[in-house]
Amino acid sequence: MKYRKLGRTNWDVSEIGYGMWGMGGWTGSDDNESVASLQRAVDLGCNFFDTAWGYGAGKSESLLGDLVRNNKDKKIYTATKIPPKNFKWPGKKEYTLDDCYPPDHIEKYVEKSLENFKLDSIDLMQFHTWEDTWLEDDRWIVKMMDLKSQGYFHSIGISLNRWEPWNGIKTVKSGIVDTVQVIYNIFDQNPEDELFPACRENKVGIIARVPFDEGSLTGTLTMDSKWPDGDWRNTYFVPENLKSSVEHADALKQVLPEGMTMPEMALRFILGEPAVSTLIPGMRKTSHVEMNLAASDAGPLNKRLMKELKKHRWDRQPTRWSQ
């Protein structure tokens, strides 16, 4: 495993981190399997884990707390997120700071997260949704600085809404936040345009999330893919999205080198972007952990394939189903 600096935090984080949403409540989660997968990742050198109160109302956070306690000899970076007070994902521009992150709500959920982790302090506290207009209202800044000075957490981050990489740039430039979490993968290349340069200039660490586009970039979805009732993927991969996602993934299979898998190509593409500090695939199986973490040793793809994959950029706009 190779490590990169996470912006101005100066932490050395594993290039491949760990996304912990699925194990918090997607159908098909098995806690024993999730715990074994987390431990396997630590054993293979992964040291950055991303969770949120919203992943099972604290369930995923408590699994991460256990992992930290079971590996006291290792530094494991814990990153979590404060949910918006209206519990609506994604954020929308009409939502105010009072709708989503009034100071009392921030404090309440930072405390709840610490209780779930059963730890004294968290490394990175992020906002689970973001609107750049909130920068004009400094109540969240005052509250976060106060909680940080009391040692509740060490660094502050924002997590940007799907397909809105521009909706965080002002905050990145403000110098208030240490990290930004954004969707970046073979399809969603648009953070390269403005967000990444702004992060580089301001030494803001970049956490690339959803490296597999929620699964389509693993090449395993078909036009008939369905999930059990209650699984959120039914509401994301609605027929129009499933069809176009499968078509876009099929086009990639034409350029996949012999001997390489789709997940490997997806991860090594992201590793080719030096601005990214860590990328966080969602994983609940040790086989996925082993396969994905090996991408770091394999390193970025060669220049010819990178150039080819740049052509598969797919710019999308938020829609009623995009969440």
Ligand X SMILES: NC(=O)c1ccc[n+]([C@@H]2O[C@H](COP(=O)([O-])OP(=O)(O)OC[C@H]3O[C@@H](n4cnc5c(N)ncnc54)[C@H](OP(=O)(O)O)[C@@H]3O)[C@@H](O)[C@H]2O)c1
DSSP H helices, 24-124, are: 31-43, 59-69, 97-100, 103-117
Among 100, 211, 278, 296, binds ligand X (CB under 6 A): 211
Please tell me the distance from the alpha carbon of residue 21 to that of residue 55, in angstroms, as a whole number: 5
56 binds ligand X (CB under 6 A): no
Q: Which residues contact 150 (CB under 8 A, 6 or more apart)?
A: none
CB of 71 or CB of 218, closer to ligand X? 218
**Greatest Cα-to-Cα distance within the chain, rounded to the nearest angstrom:** 55
- Site residues for ligand X, 75-104, by CB under 6 A, read 81
63 binds ligand X (CB under 6 A): no
CB of 160 or CB of 169, closer to ligand X? 160
What is the 8-class DSSP label of residue 83? P
In angstroms, what is the minimal distance from the CB of 149 to ligand X?
25
Instruction: Determine the angle formed by the axes of helices 286-298 and 262-271, rounding to 10 degrees.
Output: 50
DSSP string spanning 175-220? T--SEEEEE-SSS--GGGTTHHHHHHHHT-EEEEE-TTGGGGGGT-
157 binds ligand X (CB under 6 A): no
CB of 18 or CB of 307, closer to ligand X? 18
Query: Per-residue string for binding with ligand X, 286-305, x by CB under 6 A?
Result: --x--xx-------------
Give the interface segment with ligand X, choosing from 106-114, 140-148, 193-201, 214-222 (CB under 6 A): 214-222
Among 218, 225, 234, 286, binds ligand X (CB under 6 A): 218
Sole residue written with tokens 């009623």: 320
Query: Per-residue string for binding with ligand X, 100-139, x by CB under 6 A?
Result: ----------------------------x-----------
Among 6, 16, 20, 42, binds ligand X (CB under 6 A): 20
Among 140, 153, 212, 236, binds ligand X (CB under 6 A): 212
CA-based torsion, 155, 159, 160, 165: positive or negative: positive
Please tell me the distance from the alpha carbon of residue 170 to that of residue 134, in angstroms, as a whole number: 10
Please tell me the distance from the alpha carbon of residue 258 to that of residue 276, in angstroms, as a whole number: 27
Give the interface segment with ligand X, choosing from 18-26, 67-75, 163-171, 299-307 (CB under 6 A): 18-26
Summarize as ranges the residues that interact with ligand X (CB under 6 A): 19-22, 50, 81, 128, 159, 181, 209-215, 218, 220, 263, 280-285, 288, 291-292
